[in-house]
Every structure is written in structure tokens, then in C-alpha cells.
Structure 1
Amino acid sequence: MEFVTYEQEGFIGVVTINRPKALNALNTEVLELLNKVVDAVDLEKTRALILTGAGAKSFVAGADISEMSLLSKAEGENFGKIGNDVFRKIETFPIPVIAAVNGFALGGGCELSLSCDIRICSENALFGQPEVGLGITPGFGGTQRLARVVGIGKAKEMIYTASNIKAEEAYRIGLVNKVCSADELLDEAKKIAKKIVRNAPIAVRASKKAINDGISLDMDNAIVIEEKLFGSCFETEDQKNGMKAFLEKRKVEGFTNK
């Protein structure tokens, strides 16, 4: 069985963690396959990615404890680096990535969703960072991204208490953008993706880069990043065609990614 699968639907790519018997838990093999799948995405043909898990029970239930239980200090650090490298690649991927979270998103699963730009979840979704109950810390970016998304106080509460939260609470604190039924989840993710791919791809990518690069800077330096990316759009055919269509009171026939 291929533990990570990829499907192309027009301008949308769908990546699925496909290890349902293990609740899509992340071991070294799955992380390496995920890395290869992301590297293989054709950015000329793909303008948005959806990341989800196989089956109805779990997005990703966490990192594989059976593998982690045997690790030494050095091996544990290396395992954390493997996960962090892949998740950082997703976080900084040029095009938007949407997490469609079905069921459990615990530990590494919560951290994987946090590396995505937009998160939507099913009504039965469950989020949490249970690592301290196992004698470890979150190791794939959870101590860093969770606080940036939901605030330091809530992140510390979730991590220190190893408490899980349900879908509605995840929505309330801003961890997810939307909650829907399990049957509608993938379709809802595709609806968002389709709205994204209708827009100028270069501008969407520049917007993602501006947000990601500027978020950790002070405002004076952050707006310089925005100015440069804003200016770079004026070299594109899409900008010229988009503004011409607006002035002529018509819709753009289709952005060309040039």
C-alpha cells in the first residue's frame, strides 16, 4: 500500500495520508513519502493543495509511538527534524495548502494541520497535543505554531494539560476556519480551493509569501516585504489582464499564471 497518495483534479492537488489501519500515524516512512509527494507537485499545473487523511476516523492520530518508544536522544532529535523539515516545506510551499481534518488530529496530526494555510474540519474532529502525557514535548512544531494560531495562553493550556478539544471549540478559538459534516468535508475543501484557483496564481503566491515572511517582523520591516511583492505583480500578464477586465466591466476569462 502506498502510504501517501496524490490526485490531480484540474488545478487542485489532493494529498492523502493513507494508513487508516494505524489511524494514519506518522512514522519515518510516511514522513519521507509525504516529502517526496510534495516535491513532485507540478506548480505549473497546480494552484492549491488539499491535505487529508484516509478513512472516517482520523486525519492523523499522531506520530507513531511504536517507533518513537525505541528512540535514543539523538534519534529522537533526528526524528523531530525529519517531521519539522517536511512540515516547514508545507508551510512555505508556494501555493496555498488546505487541511481537511477528518477525525483525530492529535500530536503530529495537529501539528501537520497547523503547517497548512487554512484548516477546515469535520464535526467529529478532535485536536490536541498529548505529548507531555507520554513524557515528551510536541516535536513537529507544535510549541511554535499553535501559539501563533490560537494565542500563547490557550496553546500553553492545551500543551501543558495534554487536553483535547472538539471541533466547535477549535472553531471558537480560531484553530479551524470552518466545521462541516464528515460527508461534506472534502467537497467544502474543494470549494475553497476552487475559489483560490480562480484568482491570479502569482498574486496568490505573493500574498502567501508576504504573510509568512512578514508575520514575525515588526511592521516597518514587514510592509517593505509587502511593497516589493506588490510591485512584482505589475510585471505580470495577469495583472494587466485583470485590471483591464475590471475597467471594461467584465470578468477575467482565465488567469494564465504569467
Structure 2
Amino acid sequence: MMRSKLLSLVPCATGPFRTMSTTTKLTTVEVNDKTGIATLTMNRPPVNGLNLDLLRDLRQSIAEIEGNKSRGLILTSSNPTIFSAGLDIMEMYKPDKERVRAFWTALQDAWLALYGSSVPTAAAINGHSPAGGCLLATSCEYRVMLPKFTIGLNETKLGIVAPMWFMSSFLSVLPRREAERALNQGRMFTTDEALQIGLVDEAAGTKEEALEKCAQFIGTFAKVNPIARALTKQQFRAAELEQLESERAQDLEKFLFFINQPAVQKGLGIYLESLKKKAKN
């Protein structure tokens, strides 16, 4: 896998980057012909809930960006107030046995692809980013967030235990003591709080500004050998990537066992009812 990713970094012999836009059902990829940076936009109304289809599209789009020899990847959302609301509860509530297996496998695939991407990655967080949304953001190398939104891994408040690789992404950004406390509390951080503790790197007033700041970060690697940079990044992240790769089957079985517990299903049901009440009000 690493060899194919590194080969994709060899300069293209066909000429300069071209402006292009490709759309799958739930994601859009746009490559800037001047910078060579790809913007990957999630587009699953109403809140970019990470269901099986969106996760598969994310994985496919990341592979496309690496295959197009883009110089970097910016992850963002078409929703003006939600980056991603996290894992789609409906994939886990009274789940179909085969679909829920495919769902968790697709989540593993998407995380491995983003966290281990050979190109520089940044997140333009233009909305709320709880749980799985925070996972995607912290899997990137740089984060720029708009004001008056929140971000965090709030799984414990939903009665869910975040797997170790969720925690690994969090720990790659925050000091261990800060990360442990936040995970145990299921804490959501405001933009200002996230900036203060280092959960995000910069704040921006608009989505356009956030995208520009992400592009500037990716631009800092312009004079760095891309293969050396990719190998350095992947060595830093090798332990977490290899752990999930080697424990994928066990991780899946743990998730299936946990999600099928009556108490967990009851908690998910209560949460869904609360969402319905909010929608009515």
C-alpha cells in the first residue's frame, strides 16, 4: 500500500495540473490548476452523517486525489453549519448484520486512507464537528476552524466507547492528560477553546479564508521532496496505522459485540427520540 502511494507522488509526465471537478454521490473533488491542491467536500444532507455510502465515497475520493498526483488535500463540508455530525446513528440502531459489518469496515478504510495519506492534509472546519467529524479533522495534519462552532469526541455522552484508533488521532494533536480528560468527559470545545489547547491550529472568519489558510499550510511543503515528506509522515504515524491494520478483525468484532448490547441499543433509541423531538420543535 505504501509503495503504491509513494509512486503516486512521482511527478506526472503529461504536463501541469488541470482544473477539474469530479463528483460522486456524496463527495466532490476539485483540483486547483495553479496550486495542485485538491479540495474534498462532503455533501450528504442534512448533516454529513457518516454512513456506509459517504465513508466509501470518502475513501474513493482520497484514492483519486493521490492518483491525480495532487500536492495536497483539504477536507471540508458543503453544509454552512455542520462539518460532519459524526457516525450515522441509523447504521448502528437495530442494525442489519451484513450492512453494519460493511459500515465499520468502511470506517476503518476511510480512517486508514486519511490518517495515512501520502499527501499533506488539512481540514477547513466550517461547522460543528462532533465524534466522527472530529475524527476526520484530527486525522488531518492541520485544522482551521470557523468561529462559534464546536468540536470534540463526545462518545461517552452517548454511551459509546471510542475505539483506540479514534483516541490515537486525538492524541496526535493533544497532550495525553488533556486528551484523556476530554474523552472521559465527552467534552465539546468551542472554536476559541480548541484553538487555545491546540485542537485546531488556526481560526478563520469565513470558509474561503479557512480554505486559503489550509492551502497556505500545504504550500509550506512546496520545496520539500514529496517522497521524503511522505515517508517521514508515515513513519510518525506507522504505529497507529499498523495497529489497526493488524487488529482489523478484532476491532470489528469488538464493535459488533458492543453495539448489539441491549443497554447500548436502548441508549441509541433514546438519543434518536431526542433528535426527533428537537426536529419537531
TM class by shorter chain equals 0.7 to 0.9
User: 1:108-147, aligned counterparts within 5 Å?
Assistant: 108-139=132-163, 141-147=165-171
Alpha-carbon distance in 2 for matches of 1:89, 1:39: 8
TM-score when scaled to structure 1? 0.74
Identity, % of aligned positions: 27
TM-aligned CA distance change 1:73 to 1:140, over 3 Å: farther
Does the 8 Å CA contact 1:100/1:121 hold for their aligned counterparts? yes
SS at 1:60 equivalent: coil
1:6 aligns with 2:38: no
Does the 8 Å CA contact 1:120/1:176 hold for their aligned counterparts? yes
Does the 8 Å CA contact 1:97/1:116 hold for their aligned counterparts? yes
Does the 8 Å CA contact 1:100/1:186 hold for their aligned counterparts? yes
Alpha-carbon distance in 1 for matches of 2:103, 2:30: 28
Alpha-carbon distance in 1 for matches of 2:219, 2:56: 28
Deviation of 1:72 after TM superposition, in Å, equals: 6.8
TM-aligned CA distance change 1:121 to 1:181, over 3 Å: same
TM-aligned CA distance change 1:4 to 1:44, over 3 Å: closer
> What residue number does 1:176 align with?
200
TM-score when scaled to structure 2? 0.68
What is the letter of the counterpart of residue 125 of structure 1? F
SS at 1:52 equivalent: strand
What is the letter of the counterpart of residue 221 of structure 2? I
Alpha-carbon deviations, 1:213-232, whole Å to 9, x = none?
3799xxxxxxxxxxxxxxxx
Does the 8 Å CA contact 2:50/2:84 hold for their aligned counterparts? yes
Deviation of 1:15 after TM superposition, in Å, equals: 0.5
Deviation of 1:41 after TM superposition, in Å, equals: 2.1
> What residue number does 1:98 align with?
122
TM-aligned CA distance change 1:77 to 1:169, over 3 Å: farther
Alpha-carbon deviations, 1:115-174, whole Å to 9, x = none?
111112112331122222222122583223213321232222222222210112112222
Does the 8 Å CA contact 1:95/1:208 hold for their aligned counterparts? no
Does the 8 Å CA contact 1:88/1:115 hold for their aligned counterparts? no
SS at 1:69 equivalent: coil
Alpha-carbon distance in 2 for matches of 1:17, 1:140: 25
TM-aligned CA distance change 1:43 to 1:135, over 3 Å: same
TM-aligned CA distance change 1:140 to 1:30, over 3 Å: farther
Alpha-carbon distance in 2 for matches of 1:17, 1:198: 30
SS at 1:103 equivalent: coil
Does the 8 Å CA contact 1:14/1:50 hold for their aligned counterparts? yes
SS at 2:94 equivalent: coil
> Unaligned 5+ residue runs, structure 2?
1-23, 242-281
Larger displacement relative to structure 2 (143-152 or 83-92)? 143-152
SS at 1:16 equivalent: strand
Deviation of 1:39 after TM superposition, in Å, equals: 1.6
1:79 aligns with 2:103: yes
Question: How many pairs align?
Answer: 215
> Unaligned 5+ residue runs, structure 1?
217-258
> What residue number does 1:243 align with?
none
Q: Residue 217 of structure 2 is aligned with which of 192, 197, 218?
A: 192
Deviation of 1:80 after TM superposition, in Å, equals: 3.1
Does the 8 Å CA contact 2:91/2:103 hold for their aligned counterparts? no
